Amino acid sequence: MGHPPHDLAPGSSDTQRHDDPGRHLFEHTSRSDDGNPARALWRWQVTPIPGQRSRIEVSWHVSPRTFWRRALFGKLRRRQMGDEVPDSLRALAALLAPA
């Protein structure tokens, strides 16, 4: 549960995606492929810095909805999501790269 958008990374199902390139804001709600109702909201806020690289803030919020996901698996998953940030940044760079 909670991977970045499946077009950015495999392992999740898209349920909702909101891109606002004018505000440099990208949001995605994902769910697990196993049918569990749990959700994760990913958010990437890009702040361009003139003459430099951009600053990117990545955040996520996990919403476990079943007893075992809330009691145990959700806590474990939250820790794992931080490890997925580098992959999400590479995927975001590919998404934003000129065609």
User: How far apart are the C-alpha atoms of 35 and 33, rounded to whole Å?
Assistant: 6
Quick one: average pLDDT of 27-54? 82
pTM, two decimal places: 0.66
Can you give the pLDDT at residue 13?
56
CB 81 within 8 A of CB 2: yes
Tokens of 53: 């690289």
Can you give the pLDDT at residue 57?
93
What are the residue ranges spanned by the domains of the chain? 13-96
In the chain, pLDDT over 70 holds for what percent of residues?
81
- 3-state DSSP call for residue 15? strand
User: How far apart are the C-alpha atoms of 49 and 26, rounded to whole Å?
Assistant: 18
pLDDT over threshold 60, residue 62? yes
